[in-house]
Homo-oligomer: A and B are copies of this chain.
Amino acid sequence: MNDRFLKACRREPTDCTPVWFMRQAGRYMEEYRRIRLKHSILDVCKTPELAAEVTLQPIERFPFDAAIIFADILLPLEPMGLTLTFDEGEGPVLHNPVRTRADVEALRLIDGDELRFVMDAIALARKALAGRVPLIGFAGAPFTLASYAIEGGGSRNYIETKRLMYGEPAVWHRLMDKLARVVSGYLRHQIQAGAQAVQLFDSWVGCLSPEDYREYVQPHVRLIFDGLKHHNVPMIHFGTGTATLLEIMKDAGGTVMGVDWRVPLSEARRRLGRDVALQGNMDPVVLFAPVHEIERRVQSILREAGDDPGFIFNLGHGILPKTPIEHVQAAIDLVHKLSQR
């Protein structure tokens, strides 16, 4: 088995730097688009055979060092009581957004078993991977989930989210607590089903000040990581635009910290210390550049990461739908080649 990824998560030496890309099972791949012609995102997520197939697609094609289960961070919101659709070109829509105390109280505290199809997909994917590379499970973090649940979809300024947070902190904390409990159970089920590492996606938390993060988010994220510790699997804590949040995100938990391209890896290492691994941090748009420029940037990231074990090469955010496929191949090969010990 290729265990570079798990070793790097544990800050153990590896023969070269492991690499995977967020959203590596996605629209930039023709194989994926072919499946999506016939099936909606939710169909793929809810059909374990399809989810497992899509999870494997990038592994069949590229020398990635980890697979990540195909799913959507919003899946838990459906059994909690929200109506979720993916509208063409508009992204996710939650048709009954959470805005009041009553809305929050009405949310069901599911235990994760309602998402059995994800666990089944994990089991199938593990089997199909047959030990080639480890499988990562994941969930959205409470703040990011809350922002979708409150806004009713994606957002630019998070007005309703922050209005609830600032204006009705008790209701906010109740919502975050419910989400944290659900996410905690969901990730536990994923680990039990075979996920060998988990990533918590707090994709939009970078819209908060450090003070707000500490007050309105940190305790709920801590609950999740504390609850998962005893499983002893790597826990990746990811966000974007988190340059002023890194230390307090680490303090909330995680054994691997995600870093985006706005923070040089040497700075992240200096600020976070040596007791966590780092994952990142190439700008996804670099994959649109010519290969010689991709090479220059892979080199620069590896140099910034330094010689210590405990680094996983990734993008700073998900791979973009129109990314040229041959640049993905080139980037992975360059990471492996240029990081040979």
Contact of A293 among B167, B209, B243, B289 (CB under 8 A): B167
| B261 and A159 contact, CB distance less than 8 A | no
> Which residues of B sit under 8 angstroms from A284, Cβ to Cβ?
157
Contact of A159 among B211, B264, B320 (CB under 8 A): B320
Beyond A158-B285, A244-B267, is A261–B209 a contact (Cβ under 8 Å)?
Answer: yes
Whole-angstrom CA separation of A293 from B159 in the bound complex = 15
> Which residues of B sit under 8 angstroms from A219, Cβ to Cβ?
none
| B262 and A157 contact, CB distance less than 8 A | no
> Which residues of B sit under 8 angstroms from A243, Cβ to Cβ?
243-244, 262
- 8 Å CB interface, A291-332 against B: 293, 300, 320, 322
Instruction: For chain A, give the interface size range.
Output: 20 to 34
Whole-angstrom CA separation of A57 from B161 in the bound complex = 30
| A166 and B285 contact, CB distance less than 8 A | yes
* Count of chain copies: 2
> What is the CB-to-nearest-CB distance from A331 to chain B, in angstroms, rounded to a whole number?
13
Confirm or deny: A18 has a beta carbon within 8 angstroms of a beta carbon on chain B: no
Confirm or deny: A206 has a beta carbon within 8 angstroms of a beta carbon on chain B: yes
Whole-angstrom CA separation of A208 from B260 in the bound complex = 10
Confirm or deny: A126 has a beta carbon within 8 angstroms of a beta carbon on chain B: no
- 8 Å CB interface, A266-290 against B: 267, 283-286, 288-290
| A288 and B162 contact, CB distance less than 8 A | yes
Whole-angstrom CA separation of A165 from B43 in the bound complex = 39
Chain B residue, CB-CB nearest to A285: B162
Confirm or deny: A241 has a beta carbon within 8 angstroms of a beta carbon on chain B: yes
> Which residues of B sit under 8 angstroms from A283, Cβ to Cβ?
162, 209, 212
Contact of A289 among B166, B210, B245, B262 (CB under 8 A): B166
> What is the CB-to-nearest-CB distance from A73 to chain B, in angstroms, rounded to a whole number?
18
> Which residues of B sit under 8 angstroms from A163, Cβ to Cβ?
285, 288-289
> Which residues of B sit under 8 angstroms from A290, Cβ to Cβ?
166-167
Confirm or deny: A104 has a beta carbon within 8 angstroms of a beta carbon on chain B: no
> Which residues of B sit under 8 angstroms from A29, Cβ to Cβ?
none
Nearest first, the 3 closest Cβ-Cβ pairs linking A and B are: A166-B289, A243-B243, A162-B285
List 12 interface pairs A-B (beta carbons < 8 Å), by A numbering: A158-B285, A159-B285, A159-B322, A162-B285, A163-B288, A166-B286, A210-B262, A211-B264, A212-B283, A243-B243, A243-B244, A245-B262
Residues of A participating in the B interface, judged by any CB pair closer than 8 Å: 157-159, 162-163, 166-167, 206, 208-212, 241, 243-245, 261-264, 267, 283-286, 288-290, 293, 300, 320, 322
